[in-house]
Amino acid sequence: MRLDEVLHPPIEPLRQGRLTVGDGHALYWETCGTPDGIPALFLHGGPGAGISPTSRRFFDARRYHVVLFDQRGSGRSTPLGATHANTTPLLIEDIERLRTLLGIERWLVFGGSWGSTLALAYAQAHPRRCLGLVLRGIWLGTQPEIDWWLYGIRQFFPREWEAFASHVEPAEQGDLLAAYQRRLTHPDPAVHGPAARAWARYEGSCLHLLPQPAQVEAFGTDAIALGVGRLEAHYFAHQAFLAPDQLLQGMPRIAHLPGVIVHGRYDVICPPRYAHALADAWPGVQMRMVTEAGHSSMEPGIAAELVAATDRFARSGGFA
């Protein structure tokens, strides 16, 4: 099964624009599909990864009106890699600004990895604005998940972790986050650039069940690395700007909403235990554990389940 066989056909944007949200941030946004279709919001991962043309292909363009945007500091939003005035509550405010701008009452919220975190936080803040949720690669923003990313992944990707850790001095490796923060926030591109590339290449190396050298190279480019490296470290340092266990404790606010969780059985970026914890707190959610997959939405098995979920919702307004 190839990725192109499971995704919907490529589609161009209907509208594009920039939304000024204050503090020097301007967000790139676009819509695609059918203007009178089911409204849907796509939330990218990272933080800092940004959207791509492939992001549009999880939805049937004949049935959906899809809204996609690059979050603060990400993709084509400016300034790239900016961490000032960049928090989860502010991103939630940005989503509401965009919804109001486009005149949308309620929408299906779709998010993977960090996008699943933001989707849950947004839905719990604005449950009446959500038709349902499609979530992939669950990350709840807790300290154990952050510690796992920084140190636990070495159990499965030891060489990749060694390359990541060796970018800083041996004496600093006991606190990799602080060591990288010092470099990523340094004003000199000769310091923050290599640190961002090392951070992003580490993540890109661990995304898939099977090695994908092209993905690693893409994550190492300046266009992706600066957003991913700076913003992930920034959000890690602040526990994703969430209270401890906030998202699980907030599930009663959205437990009535239909939802699908898609997760790779061998996801080492976001271990499956957290997807199961979310499912346990969400009666009636549909859980799809993909046996031959890691973390990436670009793995065919995961992409197939995500497309199946949006197709089912388009047919029936639910996921059963």
- Tell me which of 55, 267, 296, 297 is the catalytic residue: 267
* Environment class of 145 (CB within 10 Å of its CB; exposed 0-12, middle 13-18, buried 19+): buried
- Categorise residue 317: left if φ over 0, alpha if ψ from -120 to 50, beta otherwise: left
SS3 42: strand
Rg (CA), the chain: 18
Using DSSP bridges, classify how beta strands 64-69 and 25-33 pair: parallel, antiparallel or unpaired.
Answer: antiparallel
Q: For this structure, is 267 an active site residue? A: yes
User: Are the C-beta atoms of residues 51 and 45 closer than 8 Å to each other?
Assistant: no
- Tell me which of 113, 116, 296, 297 is the catalytic residue: 113
CA 304 distance to own-chain centroid: 18
Peptide bond between residue 127 and the one before it cis (omega within 30 degrees of 0): no
- Tell me which of 70, 295, 296, 297 is the catalytic residue: 295
Q: For this structure, is 65 an active site residue? A: no
| Burial per residue of 79-105, b for 16 or more beta-carbon CB atoms within 10 angstroms, e otherwise | ebbbbeebbbebbbebbeebbeebebe
Q: Which two tokens stand for residue 174?
A: 């006991």
Q: For this structure, is 295 an active site residue? A: yes
Catalytic (active-site) positions: 113, 267, 295
